[in-house]
Amino acid sequence: MGAIKGARSMGSLTLRHAVILTPREVIPDGFVRIVDGAVAGVGPEPAEQGPDDVNVRGHLVAPGLVDVHIHGAGGYDVMSLKSRDLEGMAKFLACRGVTSFVPTTVSLPPEDIKRACTALISFMDSRPRGAARALGLHLEGPYISPARRGAHLAENLRAPDLGELRELLASCRGVIREVTIAPELPGAIDAIRLLSSSGVTVQLGHTDATFSQAMEALRAGATKFTHLFDAMRPFHHREPGTVGAALLSNAYVELIGDLVHVSPEAILLAYRVIGPRRLVLVSDATPAAGLPEGEYSFWGLSVVSRGGAAWIRGSNTLAGSASTLETDMANLYRVGIDISDAVGAATQNPAMSIGAHLKEGVGELRAGMRGDLVILNKELRVVASVVDGETVCGSL
């Protein structure tokens, strides 16, 4: 796909006559100006005209999408533990509107976690122009419940060990951004305290925790739930479980939007209870995302990609999604969620859930933030992407 006609690859760029989704404010006819890779201004028309103007003719302009739970896409796999796979994945994602992402591992031995950190550091140090930026590493496991492990290999699961965690935090040089943990495991509460005090976002997931165990973990420093409803103790009217804690707490709540992991009705129920500010849309994508439906092998599993999801072959167990955040955001809108809230769930909320709106300046459209934008049609499908103020993919 060609670049947006009239856009500059360096310097400044002004998108005009757009429906701006900041995402909490909607400007029906507005502009966004980017100078030297950062947003310099957002407001209603008329904007001062300049040689770098691009008339987007009423298309939607929103912050670049932020995917904080993604295992792979376009045939690229985080679990390869290689920086070149991260680079290929980052370029693939940028063309689908995802300008920031958190590569996510499945449960691994300690030495492989260190290798994942090394690969990510290498990619972050040499990220090419036009590639989505990585915000850190999400360890989904290995500190999760065997009873709710999903596609995670049982032999890699273990209870948290403070010595192991301290060594990982030191060797990974600050790139561990999120850790999913089952709070009912021995030592989990102390691990949550250590991780949260070290600036890591702690999520509760792949867990059989009761309501009281989940609430204790929140008091210890956990601030988020991993993919609501999936791989967690379900709601019961006499034991609300982890789902009940997620709905009633003030924590951020991930939700997979492929319409397979969670039904449209359950998505609407969660949205109405959680509200628009805590809902964090994630893809939970596997390497099968963006590829034709069929059979694939990754993580030591034989997987069937079908209908936007990846299934372990011969079972009813989901291995993750075969969808992208762009599609998931459009799904939210299609099932009845307000357009600003659907965009916010894929941009501002995920960024805020890990502090990336402050640290990296992503997820919002306002002066001083990163010049990462996505241009969308009325169905919330990506028309073009802008990363660091440079057009990446798409045409108008």
Which residues are marked as active site? Answer: 284
User: Which one-letter amino acid corresponds to residue 316?
Assistant: N
- Please say whether the beta carbons of 285 and 333 come within 8 A: no
Distances 148 to 153, 229, 288, 370 between C-alpha atoms, Å: 11, 11, 23, 38
Helix (H) or strand (E) run with residue 346 in it = helix 339-346
Q: Rg of the chain's alpha carbons, rounded to an integer?
A: 20
**Residue 235 CB coordination number (10 Å):** 16
Backbone angles phi and psi of 370, in degrees to 5: -60, 145
Q: What is the C-alpha separation between 311 and 330, in angstroms, rounded?
A: 22
Tokens of residue 290, six digits? 């963006």
Of the candidates 335, 334, 301, the one whose C-alpha atom is nearest the C-alpha of residue 320 is 301
Helix (H) or strand (E) run with residue 340 in it = helix 339-346
Q: Helices 188-197 and 162-171 meet at what angle, rounded to 10?
A: 20
